[in-house]
A and B are shown apart, each in its own frame.
Chain A
Amino acid sequence: MSERPGWDAAPPDVDLRGVWTAVAAQVWRRKPGPFERLAGRLLRSPGLARALVTTPSLLLGWIIATVVVLGAGAAVTSKTGVPLVALLAPALAAAGIAYSYGPGIDPAWELTWSMAVSDRMMLLARALAVFGLNAALGLAASAVSLLAGSGAAAAVTFGWLIPMTAICGLALAAATLARSANVGVAAGLAGWAITVVAAGGSSGRFTALTDSAFVLPYLAIAACCAAVVVYATRIPRGTS
């Protein structure tokens, strides 16, 4: 659309446009941050790495909010013995997963759908990164609670990782099917709330949440949800 003034006046053997573009490319070049460089190496795709660092639920504000909530949970847990970290971590992770990718969350979602980097790969990379970060933050919060010497916390520490997997799977499946992050968050939170209330009501102890008898059902739910996500993001077969 543009022709810079003076280009026509250049000698015919001088490609001013080419020179200017080369200069502009150097001046405007963006240097990826360390996390993006590392992700690029691990994923073997600079595009996927860039997509990862634009994940809404991996932005600094979201991470800070998660740290604050889990930190408060750890403080309450260590003082009262109520396993708040174990109750909060799955809900926070489910919200993060639902808000990792999709219409309304990614402003340029339709455009990213027309790209060579597969949207399924993008969803997978983002969901795994969000899950990993939330698991790490939850473990750190649990470790803090343990150091403070709460027996109740110790009973459920690390046990919430399996329920968290199921709840995250539920949130992701609902968000993918409904193409709405809010529906995903609602499904994840509702699923977790029902589980917590049912466990608290039946036994009076939240430790029932992480009873070894529930491990297989939790994993089965997570596997079913993963299958739903795979199906919902399948490659539409052509008609030719």
Chain B
Amino acid sequence: MNVEIAGLTRRFGRNQAVAGVDLEAGHGVFGLLGPNGAGKTSLLRMMATVLPPSSGKMQLLGRDPGSYGPRREIRRRLGYLPQNLGYYPSFTVVEFVEYFALLKEMPAARVPAAVAAAVERADLGDKARAKLRTLSGGMLRRVGIAQAIVNDPELLLLDEPTAGLDPEQRVAFRALLRDLGERATVVVSTHLVEDVGAACTEVALMNAGKIVFRGTPEQLTARGEGHGVGDAPLERGYSAVLTEARS
């Protein structure tokens, strides 16, 4: 298992963003669904080792991120796309991706080829030398995806990766996710239920800091049978589970 979490909590003052999450994930694409404020981003940030948990146990790639050495090793094998990706306006696409490849401590000799491969996979070959300040929001999102996959990560954490992508790019991105999920654990936090249905092998639904459903997209769809809210079968399942959790 690449992700092993037990009783994980995170508090911000009086607000409990994550309230005792248990989660295990191996290879494959794992979808994290939930309404705003459900705790998805906080959970993802803890898994990305940028936010320490308040309590609970967490093992990533078989290591404890609480210690310096193991955490550094995890970070070398980690890909992370935060919800708000900051960027350096004067950097080109290649410079940005290369910067993070170096910060991930990839061997310097491997970096140019890895950067070129990541930029191509993110479909940014035509914009490789464009300054980031000249790119659209969707393109910047793809730059973020390129930096996340540049080290061929064993654990890939993506927070709202399809935000800003047009429908054609989203279809291509789901194919990329499925491809990455064959060799790595990919955790995708998203509001878009259709992304989960198309790309994820497993899904968890969060509400008020807790996981209220875990199963396959088909199982989530089945939970929505007979439920009236939602246009698509998966949306009806999402809505049915949330209604049940809130009642």
How far, in whole Å, are A239 and B46 apart by their CA atoms in the complex?
12
Of the stretches B108-116, B216-224, B234-242, the one at the interface is B108-116
Q: At the interface, yes or no: B129 with Cβ under 8 Å from chain A?
A: yes
Closest to A111 in B: B82
Cβ of B160 under 8 Å from chain A: no
Q: Are B102 and A46 in contact (CB under 8 A)?
A: yes
Give complex CA distance A37, B244 in Å.
59
**A28–B176 CB distance below 8 A:** no
Residue pairs across A and B with CB atoms within 8 Å: the count is 139
Q: Is the CB of A2 within 8 A of B50?
A: no
Interface residues of A in 48-94 (CB under 8 A from B): 50-51, 54
List of B residues within 8 angstroms of A45 by Cβ: 105
Q: Are B120 and A2 in contact (CB under 8 A)?
A: yes
Interface segment, one of A19-27, A127-135, A207-215, A225-233: A19-27
Contact B65 A29 (CB under 8 A): no
- Give the interface of B toward A (CB within 8 A): 45, 48-50, 52-59, 64-68, 71-73, 75-76, 78, 80, 82, 84-89, 94-95, 98-100, 102-105, 108, 112-113, 115-117, 119-123, 125, 128-129, 142, 145, 147, 169, 172-173, 175-176
Q: Could you list 30 examples of A-B contacts with CB < 8 Å? A: A2-B125, A2-B172, A21-B113, A21-B117, A24-B120, A25-B112, A28-B94, A28-B116, A28-B119, A47-B99, A47-B102, A54-B88, A108-B86, A108-B100, A109-B86, A111-B100, A114-B80, A115-B103, A116-B76, A116-B105, A117-B102, A117-B103, A118-B72, A235-B68, A235-B71, A238-B66, A239-B52, A239-B54, A240-B56, A240-B66
